[in-house]
Amino acid sequence: MQYTCQSEYKKMERVVIKTAEQAFISEEKLKKEWAAHNYLSKPDLTRAKEEYEEFKNLLVRKVPHISCFPESESVTIDSIYCRDASIATDHGMIICNMGKQARSMEPKAQKEFFQASDIPVLGTIKPPGTLEGGDVAWLNKNTLAAGHTYRTNLSGIEQLKELLAPYHIEVLVAELPHYKGPSDVFHLMSILSPVDKDLAVVYSPLMPISFRNKLLERGFSLVEVPEQEFESMGCNVLAIAPRECIMVAGNPLTEYALRKAGCIVYTYKGREISYKGGGGPTCLTRPIYRID
């Protein structure tokens, strides 16, 4: 059996998560940090733990190997969105440099975890470059899409290209719009979730025309998220296997469109752990290996 780290949709074999209990830690930490981190309101810790348990149980049913980033007072409540601090490749993890300054300690914490877990590290994005994992998505094993956003700058993208160049991996850059500005969490994966080799969930109104056309040219069919389901993270869909997906409950039109496209869809209540902090199921996971 062969494995790859360079996929968003093949069968997930190993994933690392940061539970609500380990990230939010206490009511005091939530009260101290939620407003500074631009959450819509303070998450309820008890409900957040219940929601996360529901989400984790979906993973447990399908993913053989699940591990957890440890609790740490050096990082913030945003560490629950553990995709953002690193990028998985077949040649080792790329450690990010966060565009959101308040999250600057997360990459170091993840690097220490990977080293302790014998997961190789390929390289690190260094200042002035910034790069966040939510701004990259594998379209196929040899093509990585990268969003140029307020969280990921051109220097970070150039460093990413340099790290991947020896392996002949194409980095396809998407120039994302201003949208709500620097304070908002707006990543490439806010508008793109590949769920199979030829199927992606997209929010076209905020997608660059040239990038959208390239998806079509590469043979992707697009599941279009309606406007009323964008803010509720209808576009943030985690594939645990080809066309087998997890998404936040409350997006019935997108869920129906996915099922119509032949997908199996599981949902979880995400008001406390996803909606309030702006991070759906892709954000809540750092996939490591998938079955090739």
> Is residue 111 assigned to a domain?
yes
Quick check: 31 pLDDT over 90? yes
CA–CA dist 152, 277 (Å, integer): 19
> Is residue 238 assigned to a domain?
no
pLDDT tens readout for residues 73-124: 999 999 999 999 999 999 999 999 999 999 999 999 999 999 999 999 999 9
- pTM for the model stands at 0.97
> Is residue 136 assigned to a domain?
yes
Q: 238 and 193 in contact (C-beta within 8 Å)? A: yes
CB proximity list for 217: less than 8 A, separation 6 or greater: none
> Is residue 224 assigned to a domain?
no
Q: What is the pLDDT of residue 222?
A: 98
pLDDT tens readout for residues 157-196: 999 999 999 999 999 999 999 999 998 899 999 999 999 9
Average pLDDT over residues 1-24: 96
Count of the separate structural domains present in the chain = 1
Q: What is the pLDDT of residue 183?
A: 87
**DSSP H or E run through 248:** strand 244-248
> Is residue 24 assigned to a domain?
yes
Q: What is the pLDDT of residue 2?
A: 86
**CATH number of the domain where residue 64 is located:** 3.75.10.10
> Is residue 140 assigned to a domain?
yes
- 3-state percent helix, strand, coil for the chain, nearest multiple of 5: 35, 25, 40
Closest CA to 244 of 212, 199, 289: 199
Cα 221 from chain centroid?
A: 21
> Is residue 94 assigned to a domain?
yes
pLDDT tens readout for residues 224-234: 999 999 999 99
Dihedral (Cα; 272, 277, 282, 287), 10-degree rounding: -90
DSSP summary character for residue 200: E
pLDDT tens readout for residues 125-165: 999 999 999 999 999 999 999 999 999 999 999 999 999 99
**Domain enclosing residue 101, as ranges:** 3-183+269-291
DSSP labels, 73-123:
TTS-GGGGSGGGGEEEETTEEEEPB-SSGGGTTHHHHHHHHHHHTT--EEE
Average pLDDT over residues 210-227: 98
CA–CA dist 230, 242 (Å, integer): 23
pLDDT tens readout for residues 53-72: 999 999 999 999 999 999 99
> Is residue 244 assigned to a domain?
no
Confidence of residue 292 (pLDDT cuts 50, 70, 90): confident
CB proximity list for 178: less than 8 A, separation 6 or greater: none
